[in-house]
C-alpha cells in the first residue's frame, strides 16, 4: 500500500516484498546479514552458504577427510588439523578388511593365523567427507548410507 506524504511516496510492503515500491521479493531471513539479496535470492559472502547464507563453510571443506558442523571440521580417524589435511602417523596399526574366511579343521591345540593370510594397509577413503561418518564408503567412492540417512 503506497501513499503520498509531504509530496513523497511512502509504501508499506506486504509480507515477503521490499523496495521503494514493494516490487522486489524479500530474501529468506534477509540473507542472515551474510550476503546480498538479488531478485529474492541470496548471494552469500565468502565463507557462507545456504538459501539464507546461514551456514558457515569449513576451511578447505575439511579436505574430504572429515565433516563440517557449525563451521568446524570434525576429522575422520587418521586425520587432524583445522581442515583435516594432516595425516596422523599410523605406526604399526593396520586396517584389515576381510572378504571371505575359510575355516579348516586344525589339529587339537593349534591356535594361530592361517598360513597364506596377508594383511595390507588400505589407502584413505575417497568418499566425499568420508560419508559424513553416517555410511560406508564403497571402493568406487560412493557412499552407502546407514538406515535413516540419505544423500
Q: How many domains does the chain contain in total?
A: 2
Same domain, 78 and 64: yes
- 15, 1 contact by CB (below 8 A): no
pLDDT of residue 2 exceeding 70:
yes
Domain-located, residue 126: no
Mean pLDDT of 117-140: 66
Residue 109 located in a structural domain: no
pLDDT of residue 121: 52
Strands (E), the chain: 2-5, 8-11, 17-18, 24-25, 35-38, 41-44, 48-49, 55-56, 66-69, 72-75, 79-80, 86-87, 135-137, 143-145
pLDDT above 70: percentage of residues in the chain? 73
A 10 A CB-CB count for 15 gives 5
Q: Which cell numbers in the block locate residue 87?
A: 595425516
In a domain, 44, yes or no: yes
Q: What is the pLDDT of residue 138?
A: 74
Q: Are residues 68 and 40 in the same domain?
A: no
Query: Is there a domain that residue 99 lies in?
Result: no
Look at 149 and 31; give whichever has higher pLDDT: 31
Do 42 and 14 belong to one domain?
yes
- Grid coordinates 584389515 are at which residue? 96
Provide mean pLDDT across the span 7-19.
Answer: 83
Handedness of CA 137, 142, 146, 151 (dihedral sign): positive
Whether residues 51 and 68 share a domain: the answer is no
- Domain of residue 20 covers 2-55
Q: How many CA atoms within 13 Å lie on the side-chain side of 20?
A: 3
113 in helix, strand or coil?
coil
Together in a domain, 28 and 67 = no
pLDDT of residue 123: 58
- Residue 29 sits in a domain whose CATH number is 2.10.25
Residues 20, 45, single domain; the answer is yes
Question: Residue 71: which CATH number?
Answer: 2.10.25.10
Could you read off the pLDDT of 78-123 as tens digits, one per residue? 889 999 998 876 554 444 444 444 444 444 444 444 445 555 555 5
Residues in the chain: 151
Amino acid at each position: 500500500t503506497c501513499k503520498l506524504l509531504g509530496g513523497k511516496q511512502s509504501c508499506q510492503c506486504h509480507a515477503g516484498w521490499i523496495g521503494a515500491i514493494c516490487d522486489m521479493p524479500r530474501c529468506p531471513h534477509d540473507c542472515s546479514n551474510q550476503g546480498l539479496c538479488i531478485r529474492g535470492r541470496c548471494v552469500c559472502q565468502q565463507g557462507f552458504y545456504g538459501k539464507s547464507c546461514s551456514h558457515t563453510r569449513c576451511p578447505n571443506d575439511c579436505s574430504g577427510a572429515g565433516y563440517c558442523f557449525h563451521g568446524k571440521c570434525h576429522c575422520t580417524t587418521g586425520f587432524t588439523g583445522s581442515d583435516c589435511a594432516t595425516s596422523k602417523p599410523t605406526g604399526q596399526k593396520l586396517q584389515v578388511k576381510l572378504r571371505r574366511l575359510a575355516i579348516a579343521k586344525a589339529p587339537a591345540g593349534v591356535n594361530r593365523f592361517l598360513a597364506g593370510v596377508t594383511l595390507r594397509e588400505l589407502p584413505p577413503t575417497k568418499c566425499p567427507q568420508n560419508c559424513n561418518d553416517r555410511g560406508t564408503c564403497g571402493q568406487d567412492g560412493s557412499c552407502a548410507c546407514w538406515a535413516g540417512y540419505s544423500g
